[in-house]
Amino acid sequence: MKRTMLSGNEAIARGAFEAGVKVASAYPGTPSTEILENIARYSTIDASWAPNEKVALEVGIGASFGGGRALVAMKHVGVNVAADPLFTLSYTGVRGGLVLVTADDPELHSSQNEQDNRNYAKFAKIPMFEPSDSQEALDFTRLALEVSERFDTPVMLRTTTRISHSKSVVEPGEPAAGPSTAGCIEKNPAKFVMLPGNARKRHTVVEERLRSMEEWACHQSFNRIEVGEGKVGVITSGVSYLYAKEILPDADILKLGLVYPLPKQLIRDFASRYDTLYVIEELDPFIEEQVRALGIAVHGKDLLPICGELTPARLNKALTAKDVQNYFVPSEPLPNRPPNMCPGCPHRSIFYSLNRLKAFVTGDIGCYTLGFMEPLSAMDTCICMGASIGNATGMTKVLDPEEARRVVAVIGDSTFLHTGINGLMDMVYNKSTATVLILDNRITAMTGRQENPGSGYTLMGEETTRIDLEALCRSVGVKHVTVIDPYDIEHTRNVIKTEMQRPEVSVVIARRPCMLVKRDPVKRQPSLAVDADKCTGCRACLQLGCPAIEWQPDAGDKGKAVINPLLCCGCGLCSQMCHFDAIGVRHEG
Amino acid sequence: MKDKVTNILISGVGGQGILLASEVLSEVLMLAGYDVKKSEIHGMAQRGGSVVSHIRYGAKVFSSIIPEGQGDILLGFELLETYRYLPLLRQGAKVVANDLKILPPPVTLGREKYPENIPQKIRQAFPDTLVMDGLAVASRAGNPRTANIALLGALSTALPIETSYWYETLQKMVPERFLEVNIKAFDLGRQTAASQI
């Protein structure tokens, strides 16, 4: 195939195709999402969204146990959800090759923490490859699947945002013949049933596997030495390798493709040549600590930052202690431009209502996490997927009944099905009195609008059974389930108010499709306009924080609101906010 | 190894078509025979947020992120977002700026002020600056939503790339029914830039 520009995620998808992967499963999460979206283009692979990462991995394990190659993808925090099966999968090993992609997010561009998942490789005793560009992302995906079968182990492939979402030139290869074991039952309980007697034996297999891999890795081309001027040595991997080449073009580099287990003899031999040796890596001193444990003195986190992304500028500053002198710096403070909920977003009125009702909102992960921002300012906690409901239960246990009534859990439809339902079962079972608001926009919106079991469509776009959220809530024992239209502000507020007062679990489902989903038959309404004669400058409409409503401070005595017709999609929330009937349909001319 | 790498930044507001524009640009550069790397951050409801895309090309490119202060060209889709990323440029860099204001939330709420006279401030620091009304050019082409391609047309005058690569890439990346209007937008953007040099 011809040279082409691929992102790391596209390259991983291509690698999976070339390696004959049969099954791919994932839950969307930035920066991993596009892996499955691209795998879905290859008709030879059964690609699907799972309700969460644990299920995705379990599906992958099943495919592998059935003899087919499998790829499972998730973001770094997704591995926390999948960790339970992962650690035992390390013991069973595989039949068909199995690769788990962990897409980490140094700098937390779109995450709640910046954990370094190389630690999972060591913790779970699973080998981990780390590509440094798209070509390697493709090559290492193929390699990882081969290694998985050769060493009878799951293999992790770690990317970071700069690998996942950067594009570089790739020469794709030809699809290899699939694994010989594709699709047949083979009983082997001693290997696949991990009760203590079997698992004890497998643990010794795991340790032996790591020992033999470590020796093997000393002689593989993915761990390579690039010779420079011979004065300074650098050990590095992943995207840090590229920054090292950029900033230290003359250094000798040991470039590690396999970051666990490390090729110890190769490292010893390399290190012995230099007086000055650097380990250049992002986030944790993962390689550094293991190199130090070999008795080798190195510079690493004594110079480099442990928090945040490494960048060429940060690396340069760390190694040369010189800050970049910018040629131009603005002389005035610039206003920030944080992301915002879209014009017409159905979540907006919910947060407005919660703010007005002075609720304490336990929040969750999704677009609606933006509800914490001004002027809505209506989200008080945010931990991880599914946490909002459990958090609300815990809070109400320590508050007096009057205060407990203020606690409301807010969760999206996809997140509710991810891990929220477990919290709701606990809420009912343990007699919590909190209120749960499910913001059902019928899509996993945050990551770019992926389907989920509540949307009625599969990843391949086929229609499928749609989970009935009302029935689901009732079936776990919730007696009070109400569905509302969040575009009706007054009704929304009244229902939430009533349910907050109720000394029993209640679920309110606020249902309106995401404005950006074209499939759903929401008619885009004509844009609205402010009648300048009627606008009193009271600013009530501004409390929605809608990007389409702009404030003109110099108009009239007190200033006036103006609606940007390019952004407005006519949802009508602002006209409900206006007490002076100043907002209506725009009349041209 | 020390062959010169050229560093291009595209900045603007999430939702303006920055991803497509940087996609088209990097494809064109690859077709022209360069090594290319491109990096951007997206994911967390970036609509409405500040967005910047890095594109680097040359004989061999390592980092996909442009080292601070080494940007050669900035293509800005919105004035404040052009102004914001100027510190990433080197002295003597070229700027192509869309003459468009999109007010960020703190400004629409009346809490912060949008900087005044941004085009003059850019020109003062970077004399090689072109300010173009991308929306007007795109409207002349027949669709205001092609402003991103019109801006690429303006940028193309600053790059040593034959136009055939641009047409080939647009053909590949733009849906057929929008192809004609996009090519027209590209040509008009190119002409507008050429007439101002």
Answer whether residue B15 is part of any domain: yes
Q: Counting Cβ atoms within 10 Å, is residue A582 exposed (0-12), middle (13-18) or buried (19+)?
A: buried
Q: Does domain A346-511 have CATH number 3.30.470.20?
A: no
* CA distance from start to end of chain B: 33
Query: In terms of residue numbers, what domain contains B131?
Result: 6-195
| A175-179, A320-324, B121-125: least confident range | A175-179
CATH of the domain at B152: 3.40.920.10
Quickly tell me which residue has 């907006």 as its tokens: A348
Q: A-chain residues within 8 Å CB-CB of B27? A: 5
- pLDDT (0 to 100) of residue B108: 82
Mean pLDDT throughout B6-34?
Answer: 95
Question: Confidence band (pLDDT; 50, 70, 90) for A587?
Answer: confident
- A112 contacts chain B (CB < 8 A): no
Q: Which residues of A are annotated as part of the binding site for [4Fe-4S] cluster?
A: 535, 538, 541, 546, 568, 571, 574, 578
Tens-place pLDDT, residues B53-87: 999 999 999 999 999 999 999 999 999 999 999 99
Partner B, chain A 511-540, Cβ-Cβ below 8 Å:
539
- pLDDT (0 to 100) of residue A313: 92
Partner A, chain B 31-50, Cβ-Cβ below 8 Å:
35-50
Of A545-549, B105-109, B129-133, which one has max mean pLDDT?
B129-133
Residue B152, number of CB atoms within 10 A of its CB: 30
- A211/A220 Cα distance (integer angstroms): 15
- A501/A169 Cα distance (integer angstroms): 59
Mean pLDDT throughout B165-187?
Answer: 96
- A281/B64 Cα distance (integer angstroms): 16
For domain A4-218, give the CATH superfamily: Thiamin diphosphate (ThDP)-binding fold, Pyr/PP domains (3.40.50.970)
Q: Are A407 and A457 in contact (CB under 8 A)?
A: no
Mean pLDDT throughout B2-26?
Answer: 91
Mutation target vs A (from B31, B42, B143; most A CBs, 10 A cutoff): B42
| A253-262, A545-554, B167-176: least confident range | A545-554
- A88 contacts chain B (CB < 8 A): no
Quickly tell me which residue has 């002689």 as its tokens: A219
A534: three-class secondary structure by DSSP:
coil
Q: Tell me whether strands A506-511 and B71-76 are parallel, antiparallel or unpaired.
A: unpaired
Structural domains of chain B, count: 1
Mutation target vs A (from B20, B88, B109, B121; most A CBs, 10 A cutoff): B109
Q: Are B62 and B76 in contact (CB under 8 A)?
A: no
Answer whether residue B1 is part of any domain: no
Mean pLDDT throughout B151-180?
Answer: 96
Query: Is there a shared CATH topology between the A4-218 domain and the A528-585 domain?
Result: no
Mean pLDDT throughout B85-112?
Answer: 93
Q: With 50 as the cut, is the pLDDT of residue A322 above it?
A: yes
Answer whether residue B138 is part of any domain: yes
- A41/A111 Cα distance (integer angstroms): 27
Mean pLDDT throughout A478-493?
Answer: 97
Question: Confidence band (pLDDT; 50, 70, 90) for B2?
Answer: very low
- pLDDT (0 to 100) of residue B197: 62
- A491/A494 Cα distance (integer angstroms): 5
- DSSP for residue A47: E
- A305/A185 Cα distance (integer angstroms): 50
Q: With 90 as the cut, is the pLDDT of residue A473 above it?
A: yes
- DSSP for residue A223: S
Tens-place pLDDT, residues A493-503: 999 999 999 99
Q: A-chain residues within 8 Å CB-CB of B37? A: 133, 166-168
Q: With 70 as the cut, is the pLDDT of residue B46 above it?
A: no
Long-range contacts of A213-220, Cβ-Cβ distance < 8 Å, separation of 24 or more: A213/A127, A213/A151, A213/A261, A214/A261, A214/A262, A214/A263, A214/A264, A215/A265, A217/A258, A217/A261, A217/A262, A217/A263, A217/A266, A218/A263, A218/A264, A218/A265, A218/A266, A220/A257, A220/A258, A220/A263
- pLDDT (0 to 100) of residue B44: 57
Taking CA–CA distances from A33, the nearest residue in chain B reads B43
Tens-place pLDDT, residues A421-443: 999 999 999 999 999 999 999 99
Answer whether residue B80 is part of any domain: yes
The question of ipTM being above 0.90 is answered as yes
pLDDT cut 70: percent of chain B above it: 96
Mean pLDDT throughout A531-551?
Answer: 93
Query: Considering chain A, what is the average pLDDT of its residues?
Result: 95
Partner A, chain B 152-181, Cβ-Cβ below 8 Å:
none
- pLDDT (0 to 100) of residue B1: 37
Tens-place pLDDT, residues A59-93: 999 999 999 999 999 999 999 999 999 999 999 99
- B2/B61 Cα distance (integer angstroms): 10
- A499/A477 Cα distance (integer angstroms): 16
- A477/A429 Cα distance (integer angstroms): 8
Residue A352, number of CB atoms within 10 A of its CB: 24
Please report, for chain A, the start and end positions of each structural domain, with discontinuous segments joined by +. Answer: 4-218, 224-320, 346-511, 528-585
Mean pLDDT throughout A33-48?
Answer: 97
Tens-place pLDDT, residues A328-383: 999 999 999 988 899 999 999 999 999 999 999 999 999 999 999 989 999 999 99
Fold that domain A224-320 belongs to in CATH: Rossmann fold (3.40.50)
- pLDDT (0 to 100) of residue A520: 63
- CATH level 2 (architecture), domain A528-585: 2-Layer Sandwich (3.30)
Q: With 70 as the cut, is the pLDDT of residue A178 above it?
A: no
Of A188-192, B16-20, B45-49, which one has max mean pLDDT?
A188-192
Answer whether residue B33 is part of any domain: yes
Q: What are phi and psi of A407, to 5 degrees?
A: -80, 125
- pLDDT (0 to 100) of residue B49: 87
- B103/A3 Cα distance (integer angstroms): 41
Q: With 90 as the cut, is the pLDDT of residue A522 above it?
A: no
**pTM of the predicted structure, to 2 decimals:** 0.96
